[in-house]
Structure 1
Amino acid sequence: MDTFALVVTIAVALFFTYTNGFHDSANAIATSVSTRALTPRAALAMAAVMNLAGAFLGSGVAKTVSEGLIATPEGSTGMAILFSGLVGAIVWNLITWYYGLPSSSSHALFGGLVGAALAGSTTVHWNGVLDKVVIPMFLSPVVGLIVGYLVMLAILWIFRKSNPHKAKRGFRIAQTVSAAAMALGHGLQDAQKTMGVVVMALVISGHETYGDPIPAWVKIVCAVMLSLGTYAGGWRIMRTLGRKIIELDPPQGFAAETTGASIMFTTAFLFKAPISTTHVITSAIMGVGATKRVNAVRWGVAKNIILGWFITMPAAALVAAGAFGIVNLAFL
């Protein structure tokens, strides 16, 4: 039964990674598709490959997820908590994907883990949740907005005397690089989040102990599932980010992607903080768009997206708590 529970939990974790791929990878490439720098299929293929590569760049975020948010639960109850947390995240991912709302898979996962832990009477490391989740959740969009605005201002000043048509062609080519960097950063951040969950499942089952290197097979299967999910596409969210917030041109797309990628790499390597790709790229797009004129950004759409950010963790937590209640009644 313990082995069966482990296999099921890891399978659900990998399915979460798959939903993350088609949900959040759209965020990484939406700007390149909307500016026609890349065709949708080419963008998805490139993002899938870069997500795969990004998964092998570090393990700091995985350690934060596996050790820093909730105390490792034990036995069959512990596995049920982990399973329920993943169910909460997946359900919220599917709901927001269906409605085209670019909410954060990361915060759905964190909310799910916290909700299931509370329902299962497991200790939540509130300091870790505050330092590694809540503070970055508020800071990263603010930084994305400001840096996106400043990067776009710098581009406008540097290329102020350039031929507009030639500059746009050049930035369309440059967007191939910035979109690849975004996808690499997404792999670095989001594949590691699932690695952290799988490691926690292995620790609960007694197959691993904290401090051991992440097994190679865990890195490979998490990276592959993220890549497969990416290639499955995320057209609803791509349309929201690429067109509904602001009509982007290639220089704006390049500025937004460069901003997003820089923030993701900085937080992963320096702070080991699992930030949201969604939050960063959305706020960067808003910051870039505001240089055109403030009312160029469709703030009504932006307001709905921001509302989704605040709902995500509590909603996923409630679903996870409900899932744990069902599992507890049925199997424990």
Structure 2
Amino acid sequence: MSARVGVVWNPAKAERGELEVALAEVHTGPARWYETTEDDPGQAACRRALDDGADLVLACGGDGTIRAVTEHLAATDSAAEMGIVPLGTGNLLARNLDVPLADLPAAIARALEGTARPIDVGWLEADLDGGTERHAFAVMAGFGIDAHMITETDEDLKEKAGWLAYVESLGRAVSASEVIGLRLALDGGAAEAHQAHTLIVGNCGSLQGGLTLLPDADPADGRLDLLVLHEGGVSGWLDTLRNMAWDNGLKRLLRRDDEVTAESTDATTLGRLTRARVELDEPRVVEVDGDDLGETTRIEISIQPSAVRIR
């Protein structure tokens, strides 16, 4: 029996007609369409699709749309499966799951015909200006270089140059990410003090341009991977990025076992966890899958294993 397809799409990323043509190449059955808006990046659209009986939700858009659909499916513990049609700049989850990036019919075919696999979803809770908020992430969350590269990226350049715009923003991101004091507790353990400019918790390991920041991260292993960067300044970050992403891209930087670990050097702390609590001495911008949430001094992170089934 063919799936009941609900298409959640971001009209800022693609025209509906373009998607309809691509869908028709690989799908002869009916599909219902649910447009995202500025006020609803995808959660409400996904809910409407499920209410109408969709058992396959195609998320068509950038990282924000993909995250929003993932969040609603995970929050409702829905049995519906998800397909990804990447239309954004970063396309982070699509890259990590090897979804075709530049071929709409191929991405849609993968979503319609591929075998669903469960993936974990991370949850971040933070005290923001509007109160305490809780958001899901499928790829990475945190503060520092990662977050500032999002907030400092020139939008016009992003439209013209794609992910390369993030490289252009690196210098400004480094200057905006000063070393601060923080306390980090993993899986209910005692808090440890750190001086750092960046903290990233990842469900997946790859970024744009083939950079592998967390080479052992597995979106289906029931754990999240941790990276804390202590180095300050451009040279320290570039040295760390080179060592982590290029020199060690194929090495195992984190131990693979059930023990909670946090292995430290002068430049980095690496760990694996199911829960984390972070308290910051000063407010910092926090992000989830490329979405800037605003500034906070408290972050709590947890994992929902096998939260969403993605084709």
Give the structure-2-normalised TM-score.
Answer: 0.23
Determine which structure has the larger strand proportion and give its number. Answer: 2
Determine which structure has the larger helix proportion and give its number. Answer: 1
Task: Tell me which of the two structures has the higher relative contact order, counting C-alpha pairs closer than 8 angstroms and 6 or more residues apart.
Answer: 1
